Structure 1
Amino acid sequence: MSSVQHRPPISGRHVLRLALIAVALAGLAGGLAAQFLGEADWAAPLWTAGTVPVLAALLVEIVSSLRRGELGLDIVAALSMTVALIFGEALAAAVVALMYAGGQALEAFAERRATRSMTALLERMPRTAMRYVDGRLETVQIDAVVPGDRLLVRRGEMVPVDGTVESGVAVLDLSAITGETLPARVGPGGSVLSGATNAGDVFDLTASLRAADSTYAAIVAMIEAAQRSKAAMSRLADRFAMVFLAATIALAGGAWFWTGEPTRGLAVLVVATPCPLILAVPVAIVCGIARAARVGILVKGGRALETLSRVRTVVLDKTGTLTHGTARLVGSDAAAGWSGEDVLRLAASLDQASSHVTAQALVAAAHEKGLRLSVPSAVIESPGEGLAGEVDGRAVVVGGPTFVGRRSGAEIGRSGSPEPGASRVAVAVDGSWAGTLIFADALRSEAVRLLAALRSIGIRRIVVASGDRREVVKAVTAGLPVDLAVGELTPEDKLAAVKAERNHGPVMMVGDGVNDAPALAAADLGVALGARGAAASAQAADVVILVDELDRLLPAITIARNARHIALQSVWAGLLMSGGGMIAAAFGYLTPVQGALIQEVIDVIVILNALRALKGDETTSQAGAVRQLSPTGTRLPDSE
């Protein structure tokens, strides 16, 4: 994933909201200035001029919402401005207009983070292919490829269409499609999926499907369909709309009817204008989003943050999520007279000449141990099998046990069966077996503690859904506090698994590969590990963890719950204070202007309370919540 975050373009709607704030502020300030300068006749027209554009935009928005079958608290603001203008209370109308316009801008700011295009995913899709035509190669548009065409797939390229290997050996990185960490070796006649990356030498491919019908295109289509079908959550404030709207109209109408004074009804409407809801909720949400960003968690908007606070079921991918997603040295078996470090140093020295994924992992392991590598010579690589060459004047062969035994003539020692999903790399030196190095996609060190911590904060169900082999998934999840672990899932299977888990409550899906993207898009909340994961998963997800640390899930949930709690607290406090003001206005104790000013005071109180969502020490919360748990999940005493 690119480290550069592209900001979404500023829309005309955003510019309009800023313009409305400017107009409302100018009208209110101009009218007050006119009164102060003794030009009172200009005050009401200026206040009206600042109110009418906001009211017009609000009425258009209300009509659009009603057409969609939505009813929000914006109607109260429209009623208060309209009635105030009708009865000559232009100052009260101007105050309400400014409050409403400011609230809309704040809410829009929070929601702008929710829009993310699928640009990165679409850019990864191949546009062209190398096709054989009359014994020569030509570059053609991928849409021109038809079943039966023979294509050349070069090293590092993504397989453009589903097909079969015609000649050569395909060494494929399938992690983005199936979740398998170790490269797959496919010989002539073997099937290859589009979206896999050629990690070995060039090979010829016979297309079996058109690009539009192939695996990668199907994944893209599923992401789009899942995003369209996801039920949109209503704004938190709108959930109070029906009851509050009915109570407001009843009280305002009752005050007017019983007293015969329309200004009493207007005063009720002005005080009732739900700016504690319109303002406090976006402020708390934006603060929660900003707080999450401090610890490398990108939350794409207020709806995502609210959903994050309510999740009760977590579905986790295995490869790259519970595990590191790359093969790592997990053990070694050295022959007599050899040490594990000596075997690793010679093997890594030779593997510097190879770009194979396992070779790179072997070199990385040597560097981690601080071993000094030598420069190899006379290197011969057999794609997908191993290497032979000289290191420090000694003949070294590295690769699969069968290849090393055949190439060196050595009898390879049996080091026992490695764990499922592990890979054995044999090493022979000067015609004798020196040792075997074992590589596997290891479980993240924080995984056990994180899962136990998730249980402690109320996550009721944890599921592991992986595209890797069943026996590998079973081995990796053994001993983990999970309710269900399944393997060999296609992207369609993961999508179905997420939908099935909705029976247990709001579902959070966590993944990092292209094969996870449809499930991420369909879940109530998708979380992508974006540091090294596929761009497709980051685009489809609602939350992106920008650092390669799975335990950031815990502070993310904690921050979201805190922000939602503060938002609700602000809402209820605002409603209670507004309710008291409405009753006072109904009995004639408040004029419309006084009601508007009191409402401003209430706004300041609830906004200051909402700003508390910005406070907190994320480092402490993360360490306290995850690292204070022992590996068995028992909470340890605080260090204080």
Structure 2
Amino acid sequence: MGLDIVALLSMGSAFAVGGYLAAGVVALMYSGGQYLESLGEGRARHEMTALLSRAPHQAIRRRGEQLQEVPADAIEVGDIIVVRWGDLVPVDGIIYEEVATLDESALTGEPLPAARKKGDAVMSGAANAGDLFSMVAMKPASESTYAGILRLVEVAQRSEAPMARLADRYAAFFLIITVVLAFAAWLLSGDPVRAVAVLVVATPCSLILAVPIAWAAGISRAEQIGLLVKGARVLEALVNIHTLVIDKTGTLTEGTPTLHAIDSALPENELLRLVASLDQATSHVAAKALVEAAKARNLKLVHPTNVTETPGEGIAGEVDGRPVAIGAIAYIASRFGMTINHDDRPGTIAAAVAVDGAFAGVLLFSDKLRDGSDRILAGFKRLGVARMILATGDRSDVARLISSGLPFDEVRSELSAEQKIDIVKAEKAGGPVMMIGDGINDAPALAAADIGLAMGAHGSSRAAEPADAVLLVERLDRVLQGIEISRGCRRIAIQSVLAGIGLSIVGMTAGASGYLAPVQGALFQEVIDVAVILNALRALKISPAEQAD
């Protein structure tokens, strides 16, 4: 309303007093301003647009010895997909045979290629930066990571920040000031050309141009670091976070078990070599930790034989001709008719081992705290987050162990999904709440928070759907950077608005005083518009300081 009415009045009044050249310049400058605005927004949304344009549409499916090129939407769970050099991974899956080298920069912001081996998960939308490899589809295209990202991007592109809507209201107020000043100049001087000059300088209003471009640039900048927000409203809300509620498993911790300690009746390395060799035959997450621990000690693993696995209980087989079994303590005790005495250690999970039919030891696993968690949480405090709460469904002893030494104001454990919602709702009384989580049980709390942020790289897609933002890289320091980007965008938008309005008022005053002709006023206003657009685009270059080492 504000922009178009000012433009109509300025062109109409210029025609009325015979200022055809001025009217033509206004029309050209007004349309030019709109064009500059579209160019600026296009530049600001470049990374998001690139995501949309590079969506994988085709895939190579292997059936027997035959390769078929099929639409990505035709892929079903369990299909074997061949990914050639340069191709995009069409769906979420796991590596089937070969080692893969993937360029995940468009998803996570990480510039270096990532190596993935057999059994590792791969995200749709990553590009094959190495040799041909095959994978097993674990999700259809419509439910894969990239499809979810595209849905978030489309929502973000349709959004508008509260500050931008406020700018729309200010434009109407600016219209009133413009009209009053124009008529005052006419009445006091008796020269209608001065009124035309005032109206011309006020067209178009830089207030409307600067704000949406700054926030669009901020959304794009956040995507560059692997933080995908659903819109400008979310990015702007990051400025004022009062309380952080954060989940533990897969969020504050890595979410995968690591070998913590070995209580062995055999030489420790020999026990580890035997169980790691056996565990090569299973996809259990703890098995992967054992294999990696053995390789870190340069132990020579061999191929197991006669392997049998009881899902959720344990696995047994032969290694170098010796019977070996590993699993839950109750499973091993009942299988071999033995009594196993073991004292639990806080924050660990135990697995028993039998070798040659006799008890051989206990392996302890723990979920490792993410590197730099203490510095990251301290960073939230430095950025003005007043309260931080650890909210987990895990046991209280585990929660106490993990949170020891960290700057949490409160630690809540053994929570259900409903109890997490209650915590979020209660904390809203003190100010805006951000919830960070990754599991399905976190989804309701993410939806209830003012800002719900999902760990989306390896977390549950069901948690990402109701979230306001998704962290595509497993680094919590990117959330700190997102807050800094938000604050930088707000600062740049305010600078652009104040400078634009200030210069416009100067020009309008000059026009009302007879020092600026209508044509000169139109050119002066266009210079202002170009300046505020270029200033708003500085949000693309915001360099956050907060990050973990």
The 1:484/1:521 distance shift into structure 2, 3 A limit, reads: same
Which residue number in structure 1 is paired with residue 250 of structure 2? Answer: 320
Matched residue, 1:184:
none
C-alpha distance 494-78 of structure 1, shift in aligned 2 (>3 A): farther
Compared with structure 1, are the counterparts of its residues 560 and 582 closer, same or farther at alpha carbon in structure 2 (3 Å cutoff)? Answer: same
Q: What letter corresponds to residue 90 of structure 1 in structure 2?
A: G
Q: Which residue of 1 aligns with 2:28?
A: 94
Distance 1:327 1:544 in 2: 24
Corresponding residue number in structure 2 for 1:530: 456
- CA change 1:80–1:513 in 2 (3 A) is farther
CA distance in 1, matches of 2:236, 2:405: 32
The CA distance in 1 between the partners of 2:503 and 2:160, in whole Å, is 33
Partner letter of residue 26 of structure 2?
A: A
Alignment partners' CA distance in 2, 1:617 and 1:565:
14
Shift of the 382–535 alpha-carbon distance from structure 1 to 2, 3 Å rule, reads closer
Match of 2:490 among 564, 577, 586: 564
Q: 1:522 to 1:597 in 2, by over 3 A?
A: farther
Indicate the SS of the match to 1:527.
strand
Q: 1:232 to 1:298 in 2, by over 3 A?
A: closer
- What TM-score does the superposition give when structure 1 sets the normalisation length? 0.62
| Alignment-mate amino acid for residue 92 of structure 1 | V
Q: 1:342 aligns with which of 264, 267, 270?
A: 270
- Indicate the larger mover: 428-437 or 95-104: 95-104
Output the amino acid matched with 2:345: P
**CA gap 1:583/1:540 in 2 versus in 1, 3 angstroms:** same
CA distance in 2, matches of 1:490, 1:274: 54
Change (3 A) 1:275 1:299: farther
Determine if the alignment matches structure 1 residue 257 to structure 2 residue 190.
no
Matches within 5 A, 1:295-314: 295-314=225-244
User: Does structure 1 residue 270 correspond to structure 2 residue 270?
Assistant: no
The structural deviation recorded for 1:260 is: 4.0
Q: Does structure 1 residue 373 correspond to structure 2 residue 295?
A: no
Counterpart of 2:254 in 1: which secondary structure?
coil
Pairing partner for 2:320 from 385, 392, 396: 392
Shift of 1:583: 1.0
Q: Deviations over 1:12-36 (max 9, x none)?
A: xxxxxxxxxxxxxxxxxxxxxxxxx
Query: Any stretches of 5+ residues in structure 1 without a counterpart?
Result: 1-61, 63-71, 118-155, 157-222, 628-640
Which residue of 1 is the match for residue 334 of structure 2? Answer: 406
Aligned equivalents of 1:258, 1:83: Cα separation in 2: 17
Give the direction of change, closer, same or farther, for the CA distance of 1:250–1:343 in structure 2 (3 Å limit): farther
Alignment gaps of 5+ in structure 2: 53-92, 94-151
> 1:311, 1:507 within 8 Å by CA — same for their partners in 2?
yes
**Alignment deviations for residues 541-579 of structure 1 (CA, whole Å, 9 cap, x no partner):** 333222111221122222221222122112111111111
AA paired with 2:350?
R
CA distance in 1, matches of 2:451, 2:5: 30
Q: 1:383 aligns with which of 311, 323, 326?
A: 311
Question: Aligned partners of 2:392 and 2:198: how far apart in 1?
Answer: 57
Aligned: 1:516 with 2:442: yes
TM-fit CA distance, 1:598: 0.3
Aligned with 2:346 (options 410, 413, 419):
419
**Residue aligning to 1:481:** 407
1:626 and 2:548 aligned: yes
Distance in 2, matches of 1:238 and 1:490, equals 43
1:469-488 CA-partner distances (Å, limit 9, x unpaired): 44443432233211223234
Q: Provide the rounded CA distance (Å) in 2 between the counterparts of 1:369 and 1:75.
A: 75
One-letter identity of the residue aligned with 1:626 = A
Shift of 1:611: 3.3
Q: Is the Cα–Cα contact under 8 Å of residues 405 and 411 in structure 1 kept in the other structure? A: yes
Identical aligned residues as a percent: 50
Q: What's the TM-score once normalised by structure 2's chain length?
A: 0.71
Question: Could you tell me how far 1:437 is from its partner in structure 2?
Answer: 1.0
Specify the SS of the correspondent of 1:278. Answer: helix
What letter is aligned with 1:320?
A: G
Aligned in 2, Cα 1:598/1:441: closer, same or farther, shift over 3 Å? Answer: same
The root-mean-square deviation of aligned C-alpha atoms, in Å, is 3.4
**Contact map agreement 2:245 2:424 (CA 8 A) in 1:** yes
Hey, what does 1:431 align to over in structure 2?
357
Give 3-state SS (helix, strand or coil) of 1:327's partner: strand
Could you tell me which residue of structure 2 aligns to residue 288 of structure 1? 218
Q: For 1:503 and 1:109, how far apart are their aligned partners in 2?
A: 39
Q: Could you tell me which amino acid in structure 1 is paired with residue 184 of structure 2?
A: G
The separation in 2 between residues aligned to 1:351 and 1:517, in whole angstroms, is 33
